[in-house]
Amino acid sequence: MMLDPQQLATDQALLQLGKRLRADGYRFTCVTPATHARVIARHAGQHAHTLRDVFGWSRPFAPGLVSSDELGQLQRAGVLAAQGELLRSTVRWSTLDDLLLVHSAYPTDATDAVFFGPDSYRFAQVIHAHMQTSPRRVEHAVDIGCGTGIGALLIARAAQHAQVSAADINPLALRYTAINAALAGVSNVSVEPSNLLDGVTGTFDLIVANPPYMLDAGERTYRHGGGPLGADLSLRIVEQARERLSPGGSLLLYTGVAVVDGRDALLEAIRLRLAGPDWSWVYREVDPDVFGEQLAERGYEQVERIAAVALTVTRIG
C-alpha cells in the first residue's frame, strides 16, 4: 500500500511517539467503552495528570504535562485536538503483554475508528493457544479485518518464517497496523486493503478474524456486524475461508453471538455450512455474557445475552 510523503511523515512521528512511550515503561489495559465511561464519570471534567490519563483514558491535558519531544511528535502526527485551553490526543496506546498498540481515542464515534479492547485480548488468547498446540506449520496466514493488527502480529512473531497479510477495508486500520508492526520489530507482515478476502490472493494455512458482531445505528466499521443481530460478517468469513484454506489449514474465528430464548442462530448456520467430511470444527463459548449494556439498544429487545464465541475450522485432506 503506497503512502504519500506527508502521510509517511505523520506515521513516522506516531511511531517515534510509541518508541518513546515504550522506553518510558508506559502500560495501559484497554477496557470496554461502558467501563471507560464509568471511570471518566467518577471525576467528570478532570484533566490528565499522567501519561496514562493522556494516552489511555483520553483525558484532556495541559501542554506542559508532556515533554516537548512528545508534544512535537503529537503535532507532527496530526493527532492533537484543542479542547478549550487544553489539548487532547486523538489516539490511544494500549499494551498486550510486551506489545504496544496505537488505536483510536475514546469515544470511538468516528466511522473509521480503529478499536482495541477486551475482545482483542480474548482474540489474542485464542490465537496463542492455537499456535502453541497446532502441529501445522504456517507458511501463509491472513488476519481479516485486522484493526490494530494484533492477530497478524501474534502470528508473525510465533511463525517468523511465515508470510502474514493484515487485511482491512479501513485505511486507518492499515496505517495503525503498519505502525504497530514497526514498533514491534516485525518484518513479515504486509498490510492489504481488502473487503474480507476479496482483495487478497492465494490460499492460507491459517486465517484469523475478530469481526464486529453488533447492530450499530451508525454502522461504524469496527462495530457493525450486519445481518440478523450482527452475525452477517461472521458467516461471510466462514464462507470465504472454506474456499481459501489450504488442505490441513485452519480458520480461527473469534466473534460474538446474540442468544435469543437459548438459541444460538450463528451456531445453527455454521452447522449447515460445515456439514460433510471435508471439515473438522470446534465451537465454544469463551465468555457467556459480554457487552450487557448493548441489550438496552434498539433491535435487542428479544436478546437475553451476548456470548463471546470461538470457532476453529480445519480443512481435511
Dist. CA 165–CA 119, nearest whole Å: 21
Give the three cell numbers for residue 193: 486493503
Length of the chain, please?
317
CA-CA distances (angstroms) from residue 228 to 96, 165, 181, 265?
Answer: 32, 29, 35, 9
Orientation angle between helical segments 118-133 and 150-158, nearest 10 degrees = 20
Position 217 scores a pLDDT of 74
Position 3 scores a pLDDT of 60
Amino acid at 199: G
Dist. CA 152–CA 53, nearest whole Å: 28
Q: What is the pLDDT along the chain (317 residues), one digit of tens a residue?
A: 556 778 889 999 999 999 999 999 999 999 999 999 999 999 888 999 999 999 999 999 999 999 999 999 999 999 999 999 999 999 999 999 999 999 999 999 898 999 999 999 999 999 999 999 998 999 999 999 999 999 999 999 999 999 999 999 999 999 999 999 999 999 999 999 999 999 999 999 999 999 999 887 777 777 777 877 889 999 999 999 999 999 999 999 999 999 999 999 999 999 999 999 999 999 999 999 999 999 998 999 999 999 999 999 999 97
How many other C-beta atoms lie within 10 A of the C-beta of residue 64?
8
DSSP SS3 for 72: helix
Position 45 scores a pLDDT of 86
Does the pTM exceed 0.75?
A: yes
Position 1 scores a pLDDT of 55
Give the chain's domains with CATH numbers: 5-104 (no CATH), 118-315 (3.40.50.150)
Residues 6 or more apart in contact with residue 190 via CB below 8 angstroms? 163, 164, 165, 166
Amino acid at 151: G
Position 243 scores a pLDDT of 95
Task: Please report, in angstroms and rounded to a whole number, the separation of the first and last CA atoms in the chain.
Answer: 34
Among residues 160, 164, 156, which one has the least CA distance to residue 190?
Answer: 164
DSSP SS3 for 242: helix
**Torsion angle in degrees (nearest 10) through CA of 156, 162, 165, 166:** -10
Q: Is the peptide bond before 107 cis (omega within 30 degrees of 0)?
A: yes
Query: What are the φ and ψ backbone dihedral angles of 111, each rounded to 5 degrees?
Result: -65, -25
